């Protein structure tokens, strides 16, 4: 009996591991100057289309050069209206009134990362030859006014993360907003992009259930 049960479980794993996941990577090159010390900022949009099912994972690539990373505030809005704060005055806090002075970001945001980008200098980090922060990071997710007092940034983030996009329809227009909130330095949005993975809707389980029933009947016949 254990042997046949093992066979049944292997079939279960095989069927649930089918290449049902779909993915799409979309990016846009901007090379757009971000106005210095201007809360109006800039927006950039890209369109995701042709994906079936709902989002199960999403990563965001962001390339900003020049200026000071601690001046920048950026968030992403999905087609369904969910907003995730990517960066919010990195480094700013009661011990640092101006934030970090590194020259922008060339990073990937991924929900699997445990390293929040806001205080990246408190741990191990790498800058490239242009002075940009590199690597894979968790989103800042400090959903507070970027002009808040420095001490307000000491509080642990409570805003949305990339996980909040899971389970939603990824097709449609995604919008990135970026603003420079402090005078000095000049930043440029070079490019940004998304990698979206989806899983089909549950109706596939109808066929799957029939397959399991057939396997179970086959096992019972062999036992008899």
Nearest CA to 146 out of 62, 69, 67, 61 is that of: 69
* Residue 122: other Cβ atoms inside 10 A: 10
Q: What is the pTM of this model?
A: 0.83
* 71 neighbors 87 (Cβ within 8 angstroms): no
Residue entry with tokens 């402090």: 182
Q: In this predicted structure, what is the pLDDT of residue 145?
A: 98
pLDDT digits (tens, 9 = 90+) for 47-58: 999 999 999 999
pLDDT digits (tens, 9 = 90+) for 89-136: 999 999 999 999 999 999 999 999 999 999 999 999 999 999 999 999
**What is the CATH T-level fold of the domain 21-199, as seen in this structure?**
Jelly Rolls (2.60.120)
pLDDT digits (tens, 9 = 90+) for 51-88: 999 999 999 999 999 999 999 999 999 999 999 999 99
Nearest CA to 55 out of 166, 201, 175 is that of: 166
What does the H/E/C string look like for 70-127? HHEEEEEECCCCCEEEEEECCCCECCECCCCCCCEEEEEEECCCCCEHHHHHHCCCCE
Domain boundaries, the chain: 1-19+203-224, 21-199
Rounded to 5°, angle at Cα 58 from 116 and 174 = 100
* 155 neighbors 97 (Cβ within 8 angstroms): no
* 138 neighbors 115 (Cβ within 8 angstroms): yes
């Amino acid at each position: 009996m254990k042997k046949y049960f093992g066979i049944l479980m292997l079939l279960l794993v095989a069927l649930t591991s089918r290449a049902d996941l779909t993915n799409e990577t979309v990016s846009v090159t901007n090379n757009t100057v971000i106005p210095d010390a201007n809360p109006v900022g800039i927006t950039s949009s890209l369109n995701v289309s042709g994906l079936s099912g709902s989002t199960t994972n999403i990563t965001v690539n962001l390339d900003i050069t020049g200026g000071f990373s601690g001046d920048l505030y950026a968030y992403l809005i999905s087609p369904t209206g969910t907003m995730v704060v990517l960066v919010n005055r990195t480094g700013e806090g009661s011990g640092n009134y101006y934030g970090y002075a590194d020259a922008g970001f060339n990073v990937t945001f991924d929900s699997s990362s445990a390293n929040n980008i806001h205080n990246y200098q408190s741990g191990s980090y790498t800058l490239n030859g242009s002075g940009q922060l590199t690597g894979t990071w968790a989103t800042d997710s400090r959903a507070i006014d970027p002009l808040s007092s420095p001490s307000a940034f000491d509080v642990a983030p409570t805003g949305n993360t990339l996980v909040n996009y899971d389970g939603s329809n990824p097709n449609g227009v995604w919008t990135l907003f970026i603003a420079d909130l402090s005078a000095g330095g000049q930043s440029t949005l070079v490019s940004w992009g998304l990698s979206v993975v989806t899983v089909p809707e549950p109706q596939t389980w109808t066929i799957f259930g029939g397959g399991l029933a057939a396997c179970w009947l086959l096992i019972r016949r062999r036992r008899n």
